[in-house]
Structure 1
Amino acid sequence: MTNLPDRVRLLASAFTRPVFAAMARTGDHDVPLRALVKAGVLKSHRDDRQPLSSVFDEAWDHIARIYRNEYVYKNDLASRLVFGRHSPRTASFQVELPVGRSIVDVAVANGTTTAYEIKTEYDTAKRLKTQTYDYLKAFDRVFVVTHPAHLKRFESEVDSRVGLISLSTKGTLSIRREAHSNLERLDSATIFRCLRQSEYLDAIEMLFGERPSLPNGLIGAHCEKLFSTVSSEDAHRVFVNALRARTTDGNTVGFVSQLPTSLRALGYATPLSGRQRSNILALLSKPVGLTVVM
């Protein structure tokens, strides 16, 4: 495979959940990366001291420069927002969170909630109106993140409350249109459906003073009916606390903080056990004698 764009696309396949999960599960990189070695995108290198983490960072540099796919955007958001503007100890980072009939690409919860819908150079505006409409029911602020050249293309497609952010080829995020706070127009029922059972049970107990004791087949509908009566401000406060608790615990913060910069978004996006997290951290620190060939 000699075509440069094709080689970079193949290289990008290393930055996927199946590959990340396979390495974490087995503690080995041979099988997950075999196709890249076979295609000549990765090859043996005489300097066998380079750890696997450096190989991923090297690959990331090529992808971010040549093939700015959705993962590039997600990972830059993780680095610029959680590890830059905020802190992984206080700001949560959720990837592909179901909201209504849509799935938000990135959700960040710090003092408030923000949804980020990614539109790369390869995307169209299809479903953008309905996607952002769903997010406006659950999030305080909603942004579309895209290439600087495509800002005008998406500006007319979204509600005036939706902000616009450009991501430059150097990974710089620039707000081109600020998002308006949406707290007074949130829908408690939509927020409820974003919560896990343990989260909404805790919320019901906090809001109503009693934890429901019902069969599993009935408790969800019962709690949703109760939750839909609370104010949008109270519902949003529950949402903020629930999202933050998902990724700001000490184990998760310690894990993502030890990952190379290129793998931060995958660290947040891939459910792993404690042992699997230890496996991949150990694997990434090992010298592998591989280098990227472009």
Structure 2
Amino acid sequence: MVSPNASQLSALSRLFSPGVFREISRSGQSALFARLFSQTGIVKMGSQTVADAFDAAFAILRREGHRDEYVYRAALTQNILLGTHSLNSSSMLTEFRTGACKADLAILNGTATVYEIKSERDSLARLENQILNYKKVFAKIYVIAGEAHINSVLENTPLEVGVMCLNRRSQISKIRESIDNSSDVCPVAIFESLRADEARSILNDSGITVPDVPNTVLRSVMRESFSQLAPQEAHGAMVKTLKRTRSLAPLSSFIKRLPMSLRPIALSVQIHNPDQQQRLLDALRLPIINAMDWT
């Protein structure tokens, strides 16, 4: 297709939203998918399946100038999480609350590395504040951007922050290496990012007994205990705990059966129910012409 207009570009991006993915997995169809795909301007062919339709939409989004956050997340997922590491040894966090910000994507293996995405559609206005918040929780920080943003990112970020470039062929290159910051994280900021059960597990592993107190005061008690932890101890315990509590290993075989274009959303939404997984896989094999009748 020719270059999409703003309305078509919006529809293309929204095809990869959690709402569409969940709806198909729950009911085997999605009226939202049918409506959005009809708005994309992609020509429907009789032999094309729903999976083919997702791949065709993604191929358009990957073009330079059209790329949104999802395209960058897909590149990180494929090249780093599934390429360098594996779902059995690493975990991935998306939209992870970090102080006053939400981290786009973080990967946990031997350490915790956060990736802040700055696509062609983003500005760099919030980057300084985002980095300040990320430094409190993650040992390593990378900003990944398109070629047009790289010089500005290099000029406006501290030297310890790594910089990556997603080139026009969707390949990631490392422009500047990230420097380990685990000795400077803030244990209380780490605590604020965790669920209560995860915080309790870290304290127990650190030899700190959590007292039996009412839930109304439990978080303040645990926060005080976290403030006594050394930064590197808190960071290491966070990595160990989150790799266990947010493991992606159970999704490994399901992810392999999905088209490449849907793997990032599948790792983010994380459908564990086998019936829902099968419902989604069956829907992806349907002819796109049939899917246009979904209501």
TM-score, structure 1 as length reference: 0.90
CA distance in 1, matches of 2:170, 2:68: 13
**1:20 is aligned to 2:21:** yes
**Residue 269 of structure 1 corresponds to which residue in structure 2?**
268
Matched residue, 2:68: 69
- Deviation of 1:271 after TM superposition, in Å, equals 4.8
Partner of 1:109: 108
1:45 aligned onto 2:45: yes
- Gaps in structure 2 of 5+ consecutive residues: none
Indicate yes or no: 2:207 matched with 1:205: no
Q: Following TM superposition, by how much is the alpha carbon of 1:99 offset from its aligned partner in structure 2, in angstroms? A: 0.1
Confirm or deny: 8 A CA contact 2:44 2:289 kept in the other structure. yes
1:40 CA displacement: 6.2
Residue deviations 1:53-87 (CA, integer Å, cap 9, x gap): 22211221111115101111011111111111111
Shift of 1:115: 0.6
Cα 1:181/1:192, change in 2 over 3 Å: same
Q: CA RMSD in A?
A: 2.3
Please list, as runs of the form range in 1=range in 2, the aligned pairs for 1:13-162 lying within 5 A after superposition: 13-29=14-30, 31-39=31-39, 41-42=41-42, 44-47=44-47, 50-66=48-64, 67-162=66-161
Q: 1:186 to 1:53 in 2, by over 3 A?
A: same
**Helix, strand or coil at the partner of 2:32:** coil
Contact 1:165 1:173 in 2 (8 A): yes
Separation in 2 of the partners of 1:244 and 1:41? 41
Residues 222-248 of structure 1 show CA distances to partners (whole Å, capped at 9, x for unaligned) of 111111111111101121123322443
Q: Which amino acid aligns with 1:80?
A: N
Q: 1:194 aligns to what?
A: 193
CA contact (8 A) 2:103 2:115 kept: yes
Cα separation, 2, equivalents of 1:186 and 1:3:
45
Q: TM-score, normalised by structure 2?
A: 0.90
Equivalent-residue separation in structure 1 for 2:250 and 2:163 (angstroms): 33
Greater CA deviation, 190-199 or 20-29? 20-29
- Determine if the alignment matches structure 1 residue 234 to structure 2 residue 215: no
Q: Distance in 2 between matches of 1:113 and 1:37?
A: 37
- Kindly state the Cα deviation for residue 151 of structure 1 after the two structures are TM-superposed: 0.9
The unaligned stretches of length 5 or more in structure 1 are none
Aligned to 2:182: 183
Match of 1:278 in 2: 278
Identical aligned residues as a percent: 27
- Relative distance call for 1:257 and 1:269 in structure 2 (3 A) is same
